[in-house]
Amino acid sequence: MQAIQDSYPDNVAHCYGCGSQNAHGHRIRTFQEGEETVTRFTPEAYHTAIPGFVYGGLLASLIDCHGTATAAAARYRAEGREIGSAPVLRFVTASLSVSFLKPTPLGGELEIRGRVKELRGRKVIVEASVFADGVETVRGEVVAAEMPASFGN
């Protein structure tokens, strides 16, 4: 099955969270399921916060990259364009907020589910949650902004 990240051109596929070209990264893969997007990720023992529980920074990064992928795909869809087609719509995180509702147990697959809350102009707001064994443990919101030509200047 084709993940949203499979459409990222190689020259923008180095992100630590979602870049297929980053050997040290999470390399998450996000799929569209109806109105929702879904990422599945199994943390390793070295992603520990407190023994038995997942480090919150990892959980935040899963929400982050799940959100930017959801945003890019939504914007392509809104423009009626094939995902990944040129000119490439590159989204970066303008803002990330995360609420840790419950400790997230380490040792199994996590499911991240997201949906677009708002799509307007150069900005897409995505809501996403992390579920462990069907229980929502983390809820977050990503404001993704289309990367300006002046990025980094």
Provide the binding-site residues for ligand PKZ, judged by CB under 6 A: 4, 7-8, 12, 15, 17-18, 64-65, 68, 72-73, 76, 83-84, 88-95, 120-123, 143, 145, 147-148, 151
Give the number of residues written for the chain: 153
* Nearer residue to ligand PKZ within complex by CB, 45 or 86: 86
Please state the closest distance from residue 84 (CB atom) to ligand PKZ, in A. 4
Q: For the CB of residue 41, give the shortest distance to ligand PKZ in the complex, in Å.
A: 15
Query: 92 or 101, CB closer to ligand PKZ?
Result: 92
Minimal distance in Å, beta carbon 37 to ligand PKZ? 11
Residue carrying the six token digits 């070295």: 46
Residues 6 or more apart whose Cβ sits within 8 Å of residue 128: 37, 63, 66, 67, 70, 112, 113, 114, 115, 139, 140, 141, 142
User: Do 66 and 37 touch, CB atoms closer than 8 A?
Assistant: yes
Residue 8 CB, shortest distance to ligand PKZ, in Å, is 4
* Closer to ligand PKZ by Cβ: residue 54 or 145: 145
By beta-carbon proximity to ligand PKZ, the closer residue of 47 and 103 is: 47
Cβ(102)–Cβ(94) under 8 Å? no
Taking the C-alpha atoms of residue 88 and residue 78, their distance in angstroms, rounded to an integer, is 14
